[in-house]
Amino acid sequence: MANRTPLFSRKQPGGVYTIADMQDHPGNIFFVDSGHTSAEDGAGFGQSPDSPCATLDYAVGLCTASNGDVIYVMPGHAEAIAADSDVDIDVAGITVIGLGKGAARPTFTFATAITADFKLAAASTYVENILFLSGIDATTGIVEVSAADCSIVNCEFRDATGQATDCLVITDGSDRLKVLGCTFNMAAAAGADSAIAIVSSDDVEIADCKIYGNFAVGGIDLRTTASARISIHDCTIWTANAADICIVDTITGSTGTIGPNLNLILLDDAANVTEAVTGATFYMLREVFVTNAVNQGSLLINWTAVADS
């Protein structure tokens, strides 16, 4: 706990440690900065921005489960992710916050193996303001979630080379995951199946996201085993694939709410507006708008209206 005082003495005159500080940082605080001349993954490193860890995974190993520990990843930090679980957020209850904006955000690049990924493998973990770059063709999920009650907030997923097959893969049991304020800027060329794939995970919420790509299956794909009570709202989803599907339940048994405040963009005016969302067991909440042509206003999705019985 000794690392608290130097940090908060910069926030509060005289080093006063307030209740607000305790709420923000109830546990230990660690720092990661690959660009710092003193960065090292070793004993005594990580507790100060002046002697940070060199890699995020090493800092995760310094954390204590369910202690409210926070890891700050400094502006300009960069890591190449070369293998499965190269970064494994496997300590429950920790928070990872990237500092910096635009190109200065902490950046994790996947350019060696299609199975390389960044995992959220422990419950109640939180990741914010990270840039994920897919630097090899046909990556199979550069970020994978496999635990409950996690959050991914204000992150960007981007194709840098080729086309990722899927960017974010939500595996069995990732209940109550929140994907909030994220951007998926995938390639215009064919090769992607989805931006977000969801398997057997209940009460997942996707909100305030912007999604673009050439999705052969759908921008958001509920696949393999049904998920329950999914909530997708306040998003823009743009597909550049002739399949013209933005949200799809490929196993036709998932439940949840689609909308309100969704804007769906299809490839061309031959597309079927109704089928921009494909899933007979979803509830559609107005307003959900669809457009399939430039220089034309969007249309309220023409699903069958509810009848007052």
Q: In this predicted structure, what is the pLDDT of residue 200?
A: 96
- The alpha carbon dihedral of 170, 80, 122, 100 has a sign of negative
Q: In this predicted structure, what is the pLDDT of residue 271?
A: 73
Domain boundaries in the chain? 69-300
Instruction: Please name the fold of domain 69-300.
Output: Pectate Lyase C-like (2.160.20)
pTM above 0.85? yes
Give the residue among 228, 240, 232 at the shortest CA–CA distance from 208. Answer: 232
Structure tokens at 79: 């890591």
d(CA 52, CA 55): 9
Q: In this predicted structure, what is the pLDDT of residue 24?
A: 63
Q: In this predicted structure, what is the pLDDT of residue 182?
A: 98
Q: In this predicted structure, what is the pLDDT of residue 137?
A: 81
Phi, psi (5° rounding) for residue 141? Answer: 120, 90
Number of Cβ atoms within 10 Å of the Cβ of 184: 27
**Helices and strands (H and E) in the chain: how many:** 3, 28
d(CA 193, CA 205): 20
Q: Are 282 and 254 in contact (CB under 8 A)?
A: yes
Tell which phi-psi region holds residue 296, choosing left (phi > 0), alpha (psi between -120 and 50) or beta. beta
Q: In this predicted structure, what is the pLDDT of residue 9?
A: 34
Averaged in consecutive runs of 10 residues, what is the pLDDT profile of the chain (309 residues)?
36 47 74 96 94 97 96 96 89 96 95 90 97 87 96 94 90 97 94 95 98 96 96 97 94 94 91 87 93 88 85
